[in-house]
Amino acid sequence: MYYVNRNQIETILNQIGDVNSGLRRVAAEWDGGLLQGLIQERCLHLAIEVVTDVGSCLIDGFIMRDAGSYEDIITIIHQEKVFEDPALYAMLTELVGLRKPLVQDYFSWERKALHPMTAVLPDRLEQFAARVRGYLDQELGAGLPG
């Protein structure tokens, strides 16, 4: 029997709306200024945390193999068919690869440049959320608590 905390996963997935609002606004109004650069950084960082936190919840709840890295979280949930789209897999892998530059090497992050992922990530995050919800419904039943 699996224990998957659907409420926790849903709470995390619900953060995507705010992250996407920030990303879309920055992409639409980019001026290379410090404030927009910082907003972009934080939104990218939160996107990484959302994806990896949800992935960790799924891995733990469904007793999937242990992840050794952030990239491994994405690989495991892809292999377990939480999502199957190779383009989504590639983008999420690229996204979590930004964690070290954003969190540890933040002093060398280029804040004046619009990151190429900023404009396309919102649609991919929505796709990720839809696939996670679909996977939970498939594995646990629609709307049933985990």
**Which residues are marked as active site?**
99
Residue 44 burial (10 A CB sphere; 0-12, 13-18, 19+): buried
For 90, residues 6+ apart whose C-beta sits below 8 A from its C-beta are: none
Other C-beta atoms closer than 10 Å to the C-beta of 128 total 27
Q: Name the token pair of 94.
A: 């690229």
